Amino acid sequence: MKLPPDVHFDFAVLLTLLTILTGIGWLIDVLWLARKRRNLIGGKEKPGWLIDFSRSFFPVIVAVLVLRSFVAEPFRIPSGSMIPTLLVGDFILVNKFAYGLRDPVFHNEFLKGDRPKRGDIVVFRWPNDPSVDFIKRIVGLPGDRIAYRDKVLYINGEAQPQTADGVYTAPKLPGGTAYRLREDMPDHVHHIIVNPEEPARDFEMVVPEKEYFAMGDNRDGSFDSRGWGTVPEHNLVGRAFFVWMSWDGARMRPNFSRIGTSIR
């Protein structure tokens, strides 16, 4: 039987398999072996290592699977596509029930939740390779006409106001600096950076039903829906909400100023 293209072996699948295997061992012990041991004189016979492992670790593995799959999952930010909101080295938590609960293997929604709102920072499985997780900001909802012209975002024909808010300095940027701007979308305000040394990447499309248009806050340094298309609802993983740890690679130490930061 051929598996769906978005099913791949990852930590969630490993946890699921371990839960099933240790659960079988735990159940065998509860229903049969434990009773057999109680009937022995003295009850001193010990279970085999496999049953003993299952008895000890089944509750732990179940707890980790439930928390990671249905409550919150940690992620690390590997690139600068979400600067200035998220930095390389940030470790974040993602709300796994914000957009409904999905099984950890086939990713089918079994408990309906909210849908993403404009401005949400979302982790999703990249449509071109579902084994890779991306994190971007949702700027377009199903049915929206999204345009990006001269580095200004348009939603249904309306330019989203941008207000200058200083500069952002980063050594790897051409020229070394980028403009920091406040972008006012309907019901959401956030910051973006725009690199004056990079050419504009004009784009326009209507977002299909049950899909979303995602962009990085680092508008000239993000590989996003402008390059590979929209995000299907089925690929949603969760909403980023908290920085629990941040590592400053240049100084080789934690960035304490970012720990505990809420994400919006």
- Residues that are catalytic: 81, 136
Answer whether 177's CB lies under 8 Å from 114's CB: no
C-alpha atoms less than 13 angstroms from C-alpha of 224 in its C-beta half-sphere: 27
Give the C-alpha separation, 146 to 140, whole Å: 6
Burial label for 139, CB within 10 Å (0-12, 13-18, 19+), is buried
Length of the chain: 264
Give the C-alpha separation, 173 to 221, whole Å: 9
Question: What are residue 194's DSSP bridge partners?
Answer: 179
Query: For strand 158-159 and strand 152-155, is the pairing parallel, antiparallel, or unpaired?
Result: antiparallel
DSSP assignment string, 204-260: EEEPPTTEEEEE-SBTTS--SHHHH--EEGGGEEEEEEEEEEEEETTTTEE-TTTTT
Give the DSSP H or E segment for 181.
strand 177-185
Answer whether 170's CB lies under 8 Å from 148's CB: no
Torsion over CA: 12, 14, 15, 21 (sign) = positive
Residue with token string 């659960």: 23
